[in-house]
């Protein structure tokens, strides 16, 4: 997960961190992460914190410009963007 809410020392590593800290998070329309967040009963309490974007570049831009606090996506791809 990509995180911009706190300084670089803070690491967001799980859904539990989103829940505990009230983070907003980006997903990409039609993606597996979005499908999971929309259908899994284990995350129903944080669905209202999700903001969907049309593509990954737009989601990453939203994190960078602080429109959202984090991005749920593949760690390998996020590492590339960071």
How do the domains of the chain map onto residue ranges? 2-81
Domain 2-81 belongs to what architecture? 3-Layer(aba) Sandwich (3.40)
What is the per-residue pLDDT for 14?
Answer: 86
3-class DSSP state of 76: helix
pLDDT of residue 58: 96
pLDDT value of residue 13: 82
Q: How confident is the model at residue 79 (pLDDT cuts 50, 70, 90)?
A: low
For residues 3 and 12, is the Cβ–Cβ distance under 8 A? yes
pLDDT at 5 over 70: no
Whole-model pTM? 0.79
pLDDT digits (tens, 9 = 90+) for 6-64: 444 456 788 898 998 889 999 999 999 999 999 999 999 999 999 999 999 999 999 99
| β-bridge mates for residue 27, sequence order | 52
């Amino acid at each position: 997960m990509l995180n911009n809410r706190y300084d670089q020392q803070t690491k967001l590593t799980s859904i539990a961190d989103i829940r505990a800290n009230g983070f907003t998070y980006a997903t990409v329309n039609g993606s597996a992460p979005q499908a999971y967040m929309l259908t899994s009963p284990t995350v129903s309490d944080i669905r209202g914190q999700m903001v969907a974007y049309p593509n990954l570049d737009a989601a990453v831009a939203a994190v960078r410009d602080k429109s959202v606090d984090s991005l749920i996506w593949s760690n390998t791809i996020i590492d590339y963007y960071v």
